């Protein structure tokens, strides 16, 4: 059973960089797409982007200028960096595995989520 | 505001059938992109419920079913149970936005 666990600071100051890591256990990161998704308190889900095990990426255009997702296959981890954060970036951040059968990508395994607040 | 429109809330008595709609457009569902559904129990992470419009992952009860037609999709829950109280989200791809998108979510209440 694949398990994902997010880690990182729970509080980030405005204008600084939010950095999170997702550790994958029970399976390898190789051969899959890995994603970050966030959920502001009391609101819906927003896809942030993907990284493939090769390191290739695909970002939500609405966040692309501020986002970097990277992967470390030797550690079975992938990471999120979001620059120049504001209060609007306060959210629960989830890491998830993306998969498709014959059609389009969906998210079949999720981490428990970590709340990141942006505040001075 | 999401490009996939869901009703904010639906409710039903135990044992009843409820449906949740997910209405899109020609840049997402209507183009042929698949719809997937997630269940988010209170205080928990979302879980995959339906993928590829109508497929259930292993372990998901057959009380849950999905369908798609034109620019819309639906999730049906039959034999509603108290444990089904949760938020439900649809997800697809929008080629105008160039992004994977979610509906705003529907809260299911068991009366």
pLDDT in tens, B4-22: 999 999 999 999 999 999 9
A74 and B CB contact within 8 Å: no
CA distance B55 to chain A (A): 11
**Res B98 pLDDT > 90:** yes
Report the share of chain B in percent with pLDDT over 70: 100
* Spatial contact of A114 and A20, defined as CB atoms under 8 Å apart: yes
The average confidence (pLDDT) of chain B is 96
Contact B93 A104 (CB under 8 A): yes
Q: pLDDT tens across B19-42, in order?
A: 999 999 999 999 999 999 999 999
- Residue A104 has what pLDDT? 86
* Spatial contact of A57 and A51, defined as CB atoms under 8 Å apart: yes
Mean pLDDT calculated for residue range A29-49? 96
Q: pLDDT tens across A64-117, in order?
A: 999 999 999 999 999 999 999 999 999 999 999 999 877 889 999 999 999 999
Three-class SS of residue B67? strand
The number of residues making up chain A comes to 120
A110 and B CB contact within 8 Å: yes
**Res B52 pLDDT > 90:** yes
**Res B80 pLDDT > 90:** yes
All residues of chain B having their beta carbon less than 8 Å from the beta carbon of residue A104 are: 33-34, 36, 52, 92-93
Nearest to B99 among A47, A94, A101 (CB): A47
- Residue B77 has what pLDDT? 98
Contact B102 A44 (CB under 8 A): yes
CA distance B28 to chain A (A): 11
Q: With bands split at pLDDT 50, 70 and 90, how would you rate the model's confidence at B63? A: very high
Contact A105 B105 (CB under 8 A): no
Q: pLDDT tens across B81-90, in order?
A: 999 999 999 9
The number of residues making up chain B comes to 111
Report the share of chain A in percent with pLDDT over 90: 96
Contact B98 A61 (CB under 8 A): yes
The average confidence (pLDDT) of chain A is 96
* Spatial contact of A12 and A85, defined as CB atoms under 8 Å apart: yes
**Res A7 pLDDT > 90:** yes
Q: With bands split at pLDDT 50, 70 and 90, how would you rate the model's confidence at B1? A: confident
- Long-range contact list for A2-6, CB < 8 A, 24+ apart? A2/A26, A2/A27, A2/A97, A2/A109, A3/A109, A4/A95, A4/A96, A4/A97, A4/A109, A4/A110, A4/A111, A5/A111, A5/A112, A6/A93, A6/A94, A6/A95, A6/A111, A6/A112, A6/A113, A6/A114
- Residue B38 has what pLDDT? 98
- Residue A49 has what pLDDT? 97
Report the distance separating Cα B92 and Cα B84, nearest Å. 23
């Amino acid at each position: 059973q694949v398990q994902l666990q997010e880690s990182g600071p729970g509080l980030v100051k405005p204008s600084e960089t939010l950095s999170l890591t997702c550790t994958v256990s029970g399976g390898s990161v190789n051969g899959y797409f890995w994603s970050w998704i966030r959920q502001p308190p009391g609101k819906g889900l927003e896809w942030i982007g993907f990284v493939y095990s090769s390191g290739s990426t695909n970002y939500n255009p609405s966040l692309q200028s501020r986002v970097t997702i990277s992967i470390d296959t030797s550690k079975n981890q992938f990471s999120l960096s979001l620059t120049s954060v504001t209060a609007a970036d306060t959210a629960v951040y989830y890491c998830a595995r993306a998969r498709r059968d014959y059609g389009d990508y969906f998210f079949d395994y999720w981490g428990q989520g970590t709340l990141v607040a942006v505040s001075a | 505001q999401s490009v996939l429109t869901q009703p904010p809330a639906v409710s039903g008595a135990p044992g009843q059938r409820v449906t949740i709609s997910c209405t899109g457009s020609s840049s997402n569902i209507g183009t042929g992109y698949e719809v997937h559904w997630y269940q988010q129990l209170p205080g928990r992470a979302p879980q995959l419920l339906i993928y590829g419009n109508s497929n259930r992952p292993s372990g998901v009860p057959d009380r849950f079913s999905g369908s798609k037609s034109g620019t819309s999709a639906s999730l049906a829950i039959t034999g509603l149970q108290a444990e089904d109280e949760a938020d439900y989200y649809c997800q697809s791809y929008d080629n105008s936005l160039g992004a994977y998108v979610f509906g705003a979510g529907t809260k299911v209440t068991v009366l």
